[in-house]
Amino acid sequence: MATQLLNETQIENRIRRIAFQIYEDNFEADEIILAGIVKGGYVLAAEIEKRLKEICEIKITLIEINLDKNSQAQKPIQVALPNDYLQNKTVVIVDDVLNSGKTLTYAMLPFLNADVKKIRTVLLVDRDHKRYPVHADFVGFELSTTLKEHVTVNLTPGNKRIMLS
């Protein structure tokens, strides 16, 4: 049986709060690179981009981090911007749910090879099952779950919800 954890209004409020936190952390930046991890992270990054454009004049560049979530170490991780463009930029890596921290850790790799100004991380849901030393700078919802439970995030307009099953 699935239980709804957050409804559309609650999710919208969390996304808006995250956008304000990103802005407060980077109010002097010329540009922020929002890098959403393939699928859910990218959709969340696009939602955050909309809110940031409503509240600030900073240039926001939205990109997708393409990686295979099942075999991150085996396949190359791709981002659409070259290292020289990333130089001295603020990068905000976005994902919908943090389980073990493995995907978020691998998602940082392309940016570690570029001379970025700083890297920040955003999660909509932190499940608190970290196996890797990764920290989320901005979190919408923290949740302690069992390893057998599954968190589903739906960010489809009109049907946004976070479910636990």
Q: 150 falls in which pLDDT band (50, 70, 90)?
A: confident
Mean of pLDDT values over 74-95: 90
Which residues form the domain of 129? 3-164
Number of domains observed in the structure of the chain: 1
pLDDT value, residue 52: 98
Percent of the chain topping pLDDT 70: 97
pLDDT in tens, 102-124: 899 999 999 998 889 999 999 99
Q: Looking at residue 99, which CATH number applies to its domain?
A: 3.40.50.2020
Mean of pLDDT values over 146-150: 83
pLDDT value, residue 140: 95
| Mean pLDDT of all residues belonging to the chain | 91
Angle 106-111-112 from CA coordinates, rounded to 5°: 80
The amino acid occupying position 73 is: A
Mean of pLDDT values over 48-73: 91
CB 102 within 8 A of CB 72: yes
CA atoms within 13 A on the CB side of 118: 10
